[in-house]
Each structure stands twice: as C-alpha cells, then as structure tokens.
Homo-oligomer: A and B are copies of this chain.
Amino acid sequence: MRIAVLSGGVGGARFVRGLLAHLSSPAAPAGAAGAEVTVVANTGDDITLHGLRVCPDIDTILYTLGGAVHEEQGWGRRDERSTVAEELAAYGAGPSWFTLGDRDIATHLVRTRMLGAGWTLSQVTAALAERWQPGVTLLPMSDQPVETHVLVDDPDRRAVHLQEWWVRMRAGVPAHGFPLLGLDRAVAAPGVLDALREADVVLLPPSNPVVSLGPVLAVPGVRDAVRGTRAPVVGVSPVIGGAAVRGMAEQCLAALDVPCTAGGVAGLLVDLLDGWLVDDVDLDATREDLSGTGGRGGRPETVGTDLLMRDVAGAARLAGEALGLALRLAGRDAA
C-alpha cells in the first residue's frame, strides 16, 4: 500500500505520526504491513535567518517522527535552549522576532552548508532524515525556493514574509493575499508527482489550507496530479466549530473571504476531495455547505468524527479513520 500525504508543519506532522502508529497497530487494515508513506512537505514557510536556511515544516516533521520534537510546543527540539539567539541579540543582529534554538541551529548549519555545496533541498532533506529515521519518504514540495509572503496594509511595505506576519505581527495585521515568491521558477521535487500519481491513497492532513497545503498544491503539476490520481483523496478539516485547532487558518481564510468553517475549507479543496473528515459538531453544516458542489466524482463524502489529536493514540485513531474512509471509497469505486 502506497500512501501519499501533503503536509504543513505541526498538524501534518502529528497526523503522519498517528498514521504510522495506526499502520503498525492491530487496527491496521490489510496490506498495511509493508505500507510506504511519502510525505510532501510545504516549503513556503522557509526563510533565511542569520545566513541560515530554515525549513520549519520539514524540521517539524523530522523532529516529530524522529522522537525529538518539543511535544507541548509542537515544533522545535525538546530540551532546547537559546544561547546562540541571546548572543546574536547581544550583537544587535536581527531579526529579533524569530528565535532559533541551539539544537535547531545545528540542523540549519548542516542544511545551509550542504545547499551551499550544491546539494538540492531534496538531497539535504534525505541526508537529515538519515539521522531522524522518520519512517516515511520525506520530500520537499520543490527544490527551488518558494517563499510565501503576505500582502498587508503598510505604507512602507506592501508585503512581508509569512514568518514575519505570523511571528512578529502575530497575524494581527489584516492580510489581503499570499503571493508565492519564486513559484514561477519552481518545479515539483523529484518523486513528488510520481508519489501522487502512483499512490493507493492520498491524504490531506489538518494543515492550513491557504499557507500550508496552498503552496504545495500551487507547485506546477501538483494540483493536477492530485486531481488526476486514481487513488481516493481524503482530507481532514483543520477547523472545528468555526475555529482553527491551531495556527493562523482563521486569519488566512479571512484574507480570502472564505468562511472559517469545515465547509469553507473544503470549498478550497473540492476539486480534489473524494472524502472529507470533519468534527462531529460540524457534520450537518458541512454537508449543507457542500450539497451543491461537484467534487472529484460528485459531492465529497463527508464524515464526522472527533478531530482533536490529543496524543499519539488520538492521532492514530484519526489517521485510521481517514485511511479507512479512503479505503472504503476505493472499494466503492472498485465495486
């Protein structure tokens, strides 16, 4: 069984960790034993700070699957310190609004050095994965830099990097759009399109639909590959009861005049979805929202469950439900 997942940071990483736990559990479906999971990670959050190339979503996935993540925070390393960042601040070296942890900096040093020596981001990611043994094939969406910026109302600057909008401005400045700088020169990284085309199941975890899944799907060929895959495509809503479980989906959806509801998010993905997993509290409203839509092969099958991933077991249960829905849809198509 080949499973392809498009992923942002924390939500995607936790979902994939749950998926791997489910696949090796007694509850796993037939064929799960040798399942191969490919994760295509968003790199639109990437940023160069202090000369270091930082890939937040890739690192969150590696640290989470490698057992090294700061569990409460959801990103960064456990047992982390910020000695280097404090020293950088003492030199007045900006930006001051983004703090890199000491352990984390080693990852960025290795990556920056390898990129400088001519390795591609795919190759660097594979090299970093040798340490973390994530149990999946982790691919960046593209080897070319694509950086998500945010159009804001600022007389001095029309656009800021997503990280600056999120971390420094705390998404408190209204956004009007999310241009992807570098997208015109980007191609899907090696293996990305094949993984989507040849998958038996495609899963979209509860990642931000605008600035996490959005950049991945915007890479030339990716959206078409998901739309055209023979595999069932099942997504998980990142919104429960009108609020994002975490992150900045609310502010991002507002910028696009999309309601912050499970149905609103599904509307952004409706050309891709065979199945849509929402929280029980949202089931009726979402079905109502989607009643007039087309989906890939008609209206996406919308199913309600408990969407909160409280721990690894909870994430395994959720991933199992998404996978189960996908396999059920595949069986229905086959029947």
List chain A positions with a Cβ less than 8 A from chain B: 50-52, 81, 83-85, 87-88, 90-93, 102-103, 105-107, 109-110, 112-113, 116, 128, 130-131
Contact = CB atoms under 8 A, between A and B. Distances in A.
Given A51-B116, A116-B51, A106 B131 contact: no
A113 B103 CA distance: 20
B103 A88 contact: no
21 contacts: A50-B113, A51-B113, A51-B116, A52-B109, A83-B83, A83-B103, A83-B106, A84-B84, A84-B105, A84-B106, A84-B109, A90-B106, A90-B131, A91-B106, A91-B107, A91-B128, A92-B130, A92-B131, A93-B110, A93-B113, A105-B105
**Chain A facing B: main interface SS:** helix
Contact of A112 (B51, B83, B84, B91): B51
Contact of A103 (B84, B107, B110, B112): B84
A109 B93 contact: yes
A81 to B, nearest CB: 6
A192 B23 CA distance: 68
A87 B107 contact: yes
A105 to B, nearest CB: 5
Nearest to A82: B102
A221 B88 CA distance: 36
A318 B166 CA distance: 57
A87 to B, nearest CB: 3
A193 B90 CA distance: 32
Contacts of A116: 51
- Which of A51, A92, A128: most chain B CB closer than 10 A? A51
A52 B84 CA distance: 14
Contacts of A130: 92
Contact of A106 (B88, B103, B109, B112): B88
A73 to B, nearest CB: 17
Given A51-B116, A83-B103, 4 more contacts: A50-B113, A81-B81, A88-B109, A91-B128
Nearest to A87: B106
3 residue pairs, one from A and one from B, having the closest CB atoms: A87-B106, A51-B113, A83-B102
Contacts of A128: 91
Contacts of A88: 106, 109-110
A84 B110 CA distance: 11
A40 B105 CA distance: 32
A258 B171 CA distance: 68
Nearest to A50: B109
Contacts of A87: 102-103, 105-107
Nearest to A104: B87
Contacts of A131: 90-92
Contacts of A105: 84, 87, 105
A106 B107 CA distance: 15
Nearest to A115: B51
Contacts of A102: 81, 83-84, 87, 102
A110 B91 contact: yes
A44 B88 CA distance: 25
A93 B102 CA distance: 16
